[in-house]
Structure 1
């Protein structure tokens, strides 16, 4: 299963509806197509993955929807990814279905390449840089926020330790149905201030300060539209209503968990900005230095303080 951290907060799988028995009046129980412990293939999103059928439940059992359900474990993935799926998502482990798996994988790769190609074509043409684009205020490092133009692909590399934080955050919110307790004891503003303080003796201190201000600006702009799970929106809306007539920024309320999610989104967001190569290189350098700072202070920044939705604020 090809899952990057960029997509650990934004990936949603819509479950297929269970099939009803075409002959509900039969006295004989329907034959189970897959046995417990059987090696199978299973759809997850647009692709097919190798898996194991762990358990079977029929629609007649308590708290189970109509139709047979199978508990699927995806090979090579943690148990937290296990899920109950309907029969139409499970395939026999055969040469024919393995070939189908390969074809879907290749088709998905082709579609990704095609989208990237279209993106590159959009950047070509006789117009000068920025010509014909809506006017935007030029931000830090030459970035024009909001301009629908792309020249340079920006890739933000997340350190391994922080990837684990992202995964735990995803599990708390999506699996355990909890949200981060707010306001955070270590909000984004304080984290950025500590980073600047650590670099007080750095000869590039002024540039580092500019970088952290840019991170804060992006965080406050993208939080409500790109950094929240659906279950976190009521908490966010409540905070907005509470502080709507003040100058309070969300960066003074939210903490490291949501700040880290920003870096998952930054690469794609910055790819749609007008930025020269030198500025892009410098910006990425500062972003990676800041991520390294977060990794070095994981125990202090990530307290794993989550709560039920009703008591989140």
Structure 2
């Protein structure tokens, strides 16, 4: 391989990840079109029901229906228990407590991804200093590509598939008053968790290449564990009352269906 071709390899790999992220975002949008709407008459969530909800969350089952996913490579979901419970608590506060997360988040998704990339890069560099190896450089490159792809996917998918009905007005206000702003610079890791738990289904629907799926899972697992160990830093944003009561014409958003049906929280 010529030096020129070698220099082009990281760019080609990065392009594949971005292209895959775009397909995943499109798949996320299409997967929400025909889903039943959320009911407003939800019963009280019991401990047993909460566990049932987290199980369905992790298995990608929404609205009490297991979606048919086209044949192709699949990524096995991974989510620590404390993050699963946080997802359900987030759902309860928004759909039952009539709250929304503070915006802008003091620890937005872009900050978290930057902090994790800095930490992971330093970790790889320490390994490289002990045992000089080109594999360490490749690992750093792969990690940065996946993080970049996750950020792009979050920005693309937030308004299409990661918001609950009760958050729509807040999002419309955000879009109307912060033209051109990236969602990852304003929304926090509560919303990133919704993407991460939905990612296996998105990837399956997008029919990504197997090596991209393997790389993505390899890089995501340590990132999720890192976040799980730092909940107090990145997942303590707080909530406020929904004060965004005015609709803004011309702005259309999708609906998050991670946990939306009363059948998911019944005993």
1:192 aligns with 2:127: no
TM-score using structure 2 length: 0.62
Runs of 4+ in 1 over 2 A off after TM superposition: 10-15, 71-78, 273-279
1:111-169 Cα deviation digits (max 9, x unpaired): 859x45xx33xxxxxxxxxxxxxxxxxxxxxxxxxxxxxx2122321111111110111
SS for the counterpart of 2:224 is helix
How far is the alpha carbon of 1:273 from its aligned partner?
Answer: 2.2
Q: Compute the displacement of 1:308 (Å).
A: 0.2
Structure 2 CA distance, aligned partners of 1:11 and 1:169? 19
The answer to whether the aligner puts 1:239 opposite 2:174 as a matched pair is: yes
Match of 1:161 in 2: 82
**Cα contact 2:109–2:192 (8 A) shared by 1:** yes
> Where in structure 1 are there 5+ consecutive unaligned residues?
1-9, 16-43, 45-70, 82-108, 121-150
Q: Which residue of 2 aligns with 1:271?
A: 204
TM-score, normalised via structure 1 length? 0.53
Matching residue of 2:265:
none
TM-superposition CA deviations, 1:278-301 (whole Å, max 9, x none): 221111111112111110111111
Q: Distance in 2 between matches of 1:233 and 1:74?
A: 27
SS in 2 for 1:272: helix
Contact 2:74–2:213 (CA<8 Å) still a contact in 1?
Answer: no
CA RMSD of aligned residues (A): 2.9
2:227 matched residue in structure 1: 294
Counterpart check, 1:181 vs 2:102: yes
Equivalent residues in 2 for 1:92-107, closer than 5 Å: none
**Residues 162 and 295 of structure 1 are in contact (CA less than 8 Å); yes or no, is this contact kept in structure 2?**
yes
How many residue pairs get aligned? The number is 184
Query: Does 2:48 correspond to 1:76?
Result: yes
Counterpart-to-counterpart distance in 2, 1:302 and 1:152: 31
Q: Is the 8 A contact 2:100 2:167 kept in 1?
A: yes
Rg comparison, structure with higher value = 1
Which residue in the other structure is 2:188 paired with?
255
For residues 9-24 of structure 1, the aligned pairs below 5 Å read 12-13=38-39
SS in 2 for 1:241: helix
